[in-house]
Amino acid sequence: MDAQLKRGLLDAYVLAAVSRESSYGYRIVHDAPPALELTESTLYPILRRLARDGLLLETKQEHNGRLRKYFSLTDRGRDELERFVGDIDEVEEILTFVRGRATR
């Protein structure tokens, strides 16, 4: 997928991935739709930025004798996710137009 197109979707994916229950780095990468081609290296700056902006909350929990960092959604993060979902209809409208013009 085009890198620029993907960039906007990555934030939304990460917010959605931790929205039902808290999650951790590897699981977020593992659960990602293959089209996103999400790797640990792509995820790391996104997690840090979203946490810094107050959209994600970081907590450390013990797992198998080591500490694992879990991420969950803050109220602001939930607002942001809802805003994105609200935008989907408009995006679909644009996509329908583009597809209609592009296919003859």
Cβ(10)–Cβ(36) below 8 Å: yes
Burial letters for 47-67: b for 16+ Cβ neighbours within 10 Å, e otherwise?
Answer: beebbeeebbbeeeeeeeeee
Task: Report, in Å, the least distance between residue 17 CB and another protein.
Answer: 15
Q: Which residue spans within the chain are E strands per DSSP? A: 23-24, 56-63, 66-73
> Where do contacts with another protein occur on this chain (CB under 8 A)?
24-27, 29-30, 39-42, 44-45, 48-49, 52-54, 64, 66-69, 76, 79
Task: Report, in Å, the least distance between residue 42 CB and another protein.
Answer: 7
Closest to another protein by CB, 39 or 96: 39
Closest to another protein by CB, 7 or 88: 7
Closest to another protein by CB, 87 or 97: 87
